[in-house]
Amino acid sequence: MPYNDYRTALVTGASTGMGEAITRCLVAHDITVHAVARNESSLQKLAAELGVIPHALDLRDLDAVAEQLSGLEIDILVNCAGVSRPGNVLDSSADDLDALVDVNLRAILQLARILVPGMVERDLGHVINISSIAGIYNFYGHTAYHATKAAVHQLSRQLRNDTVGRRIRVTEICPGRVETEIFGRNMGGTPEALQEAWETYYEGYESLTTADIVSAVDFAIAAPRHMNVSMMEILPTFQVPGGLVFDRREEPAGE
């Protein structure tokens, strides 16, 4: 069990959804978890319950990230924090695009810069990136989200090149629709929005759950130390990413 090789972990987005579920799994395996999220009160509750080390951080604040996290010896880095915004690039604001790039990509690059060199020095580590099928397949809307998740897909592969010859594993978990609050947050984040999102996107569907993502992470970490689970694409049985659109444009007669 390679869990026995590891002592510490850092999980972003640790206060809700997949991040919280992964945090609970790691703590259950006696891993000391540094939990990173923006919501300080949620982090403090998690710390009181599980004994995690809380870091209330906005991942867009790179100075604060470097100040709090530089120097930590982290064996397992789980990049789970992510944001999405409704709409495509035609109706996105400048802040929409910056937020997606800052949280979904730039923060992951900076955390790798800060923490992976220590893994290389100790000849031990595991980076787990939560991406999305949106980074592999094209479908309508959320253009910047697709772009950032595609970058995470490529980054996950490139980190293997950067650390070749050292006992460092890199795993990309690439899920389809998971029952989290992401759609509700896109719709405003109010209790009414969360309920509407549940009824629209989850009610009546057999979506993935956070427990399914935890199972994937657990499998990747628990694999024999000579085995790197490089990518796991996980979809609900009834969800497929395929489909072809061919839009025919009718020109007015005489043109």
200 token code pair: 């629209």
In one-letter notation, the amino acid at residue 13 is: G
Q: How many CB atoms lie within 10 A of CB 183?
A: 19
Task: Enter the DSSP assignment of 90.
Answer: T
194 token code pair: 């969360």
Tell me whether strands 168-175 and 53-56 are parallel, antiparallel or unpaired. unpaired
Provide the residue count of the chain: 255
Determine whether 145 is an active site residue. yes
Do 22 and 213 form a contact (C-beta atoms < 8 A)? yes
Query: Which of 218, 20, 25 shows the shortest CA–CA distance to 126?
Result: 218
Strands (E), 99-252: 125-130, 168-175, 231-234
Which one of 6, 137, 140, 145 is the catalytic residue? 145
For 243, 245, 246, 252, the CA distances from 249, given in Å and listed in that order, are 19, 13, 10, 10
Q: Sort 130 into a burial class: Cβ within 10 Å, 0-12 / 13-18 / 19+.
A: buried
Residues classed as catalytic: 145
